[in-house]
Chain A
Amino acid sequence: MDWEVVIGLEIHTQLSTKSKLFSGAAVGFGAEPNTQTTLVDLGMPGALPVFNKEALRMAVMFGHAINAEIGIHSVFARKNYFYPDLPKGYQTSQMDHPIVGKGHLDVLLDDGTTSRIGITRAHLEEDAGKSLHEDFQGMTGIDLNRASTPLLEIVSEPDIRSAKEAVAYVKMIHSIVTYLGICDGNMAEGSMRCDVNISLRPKGQKEFGTRTEIKNVNSFRFIEKAIYTEIERQADILEDGGKITQETRLYDAEKNETRSMRSKEDANDYRYFPCPDLLPIELTQEYVDDIKASLPELPSHKAKRFQSEYNLSEYDAHVLSSSREMADFFEAANSATKDPKLTANWVMGELSKLLNQAQLEINQSPVSASAFGKLLARIQDNTINGKTAKDVLQAMWNGEGSADAIIDAKGLKQVTDTGAIESMIQAILDANATQVEQYRAAEPDKQKKMIGFFVGQVMKASQGKANPGMVNPILAKLLKG
């Protein structure tokens, strides 16, 4: 049968506040166990929560970024369940009145089409601690450093129809939250974690099939792989006439399979009710509007601007605006060249290649945007050609100095003296008389191909320093005879 896959995502985004959602404990990854906890995070008797102002601001920023209704009146609710990493026996979350209501995102897919994904809501809640399964006399260790770290849970509509679309959506969310500076986006450290809801239905059927939820998938690659394996698993069951059990599953990256989570088997009744220790949050329109006005330029806007302002293709504009750091780098480098196409090609080409090889992010690049821009300016003013520029970039990457210093030190300056180039070319033509004869006898469209031989000889003789822009017309003139 032909199956249609239906995917909805819940993305837990850790907000990059300094302190926790309800306490003055520091937020951070990798601290010694239980050293970043207060009475409140530990759920000690009599401890009470007080809400972090910055977490609220960040949530409202996100709401604006997805064109959502902002919850002018929002309420914290308690989600009651027992788990050792949940100190109070309830998670403070939001249920009926989330801070961010309905919104949407337009996601650009690889084939160049755009897909609108609905966002049901985004709500504030506290993170849980961590269970450490190393063997402590056959027991589990509980570290509550992460407890009460602010999370924004972003819930999509079941609008996604493929693994690729899911990944594109998550990447878009990742790009938005990092643009806004409300999340560090570090998926390896769990700053962004996805729960994927998947179901299949026969193509053309309206009703949704039974779904499973895959918990805590924490990389773009794993999201894609987990979805593929789960689609396969569900399709196998359905093809055999079986039924999907609604359950929570865990993705095992090593085995590339999903398995049922025993701990979540228990039918849960979370008994949500408004948290009596926290009061309703009432926002003024002025507060909401001020945040909107102070929003940084978002990736989709930036991509549009790059197209209109710099005349870049949609693809280039999209790639360059996918992260704020990349976009900033591009714009800074471009201010030296004023040639967006050249700058874009070099940022997305040579620089990205070096960054990938070294597994660095663009903000970790050893070559700064302005140094990079100066290098490109030397291509523009014919000091060096593109081929030489690659070598100079490598030298700059290795810390050998600025573009100009390297060009000087290695004597890489292009030959731009017309007389010198002419005599060099004449010498080459004299040494290759046969090829010159053949050239002159050939049809014009054949000549175009044959000229490459002479260019190559010139570049070789000049050790790459002859300016290709000058070589070509002189060569053409002399070949004419």
Chain B
Amino acid sequence: MSINKQDVQKIAHLARLALTEEDAAQYQQSLSSVLALVEQMQSVNTDGIEPLGNPLEMTQRLREDVVTEGNRRDEFLANAPQTEAGLFLVPQVID
């Protein structure tokens, strides 16, 4: 399975990574070699095998519906690049 530069740019866009032409060329190579490695899987017949997500196959535990945490806004905003009036600021969002 090999991928071209357009594929790389498309994936990079989905993953929100800015790639230069040069980056894209490099990633095209390295991604192709990983995908070639991964391709080995296709040689195995896995018909009728259930996928395994959690190794212990546990089920979801439930939390009681109680409020356990209060306002810690100041602490949480402290790591943000830009804030104002208790809000995280980002470049303008256009709906």
Interface residues of A (CB under 8 A from B): 17-19, 23-26, 32-39, 42, 44, 50-56, 76, 82, 84, 131-133, 136-144, 250, 261-263, 269, 271, 274, 276, 278-282
Contacts and interface: CB of A to CB of B under 8 A. Distances in A.
A17 B66 CA distance: 9
A477 B71 CA distance: 79
A261 B95 contact: yes
A42 B93 contact: no
Interface string B60-95: 111111111101110011000010111111111111
A17 B67 CA distance: 10
A33 B68 contact: no
Nearest to B16: A82
A345 B48 CA distance: 64
A271 B14 contact: yes
- Chain B contact residues (Cβ within 8 angstroms of A): what range? 20 to 34
A318 to B, nearest CB: 33
Nearest to A138: B92
Interface in B39-73: 53-54, 58-69, 71-73
Contacts of A51: 60-63
A143 B80 CA distance: 13
Given A84-B88, A139-B91, A280-B54, 5 more contacts: A37-B73, A53-B65, A139-B90, A279-B59, A279-B61
B72 to A, nearest CB: 8
B84 A140 contact: no
A122 to B, nearest CB: 18
A250 B66 contact: no
Given A33-B85, A51-B61, A18 B67 contact: yes
Contact of B93 (A38, A44, A56, A140): A140
Nearest to A56: B62
Contacts of A56: 62
Contacts of A269: 14
Contacts of B91: 139-140
Contacts of B76: 34, 37, 39, 42, 44
Contacts of B72: 37-38
Contact of B65 (A18, A33, A140, A142): A18
- The listed residue with most A CB atoms (<10 A of its CB), out of B59, B65, B68, B69, is B65
Contacts of A36: 71
Contact of A54 (B53, B54, B65, B94): B65
B84 A136 contact: yes
Contacts of A24: 63, 66-69
Query: 4 closest pairs, A vs B, by CB?
Result: A24-B68, A141-B87, A54-B65, A53-B62
Nearest to B59: A282
Contacts of B54: 276, 279-280
Contacts of A33: 73, 85-87
B95 A139 contact: no
A39 B71 CA distance: 11
Nearest to B61: A50
Contact of B94 (A23, A25, A262, A274): A262
> In the complex, which of the residues A34, A55, A279 has the most CB atoms of chain B within 10 Å of its own CB atom?
A34
Given A82-B16, A271-B14, A282-B59, A52 B65 contact: yes
Nearest to A89: B16
Contacts of A263: 93-95
A152 to B, nearest CB: 15
Contact of B60 (A17, A32, A137, A281): A281
Nearest to A132: B87
Interface in B11-32: 14, 16
A141 B94 contact: no
A33 B87 CA distance: 6
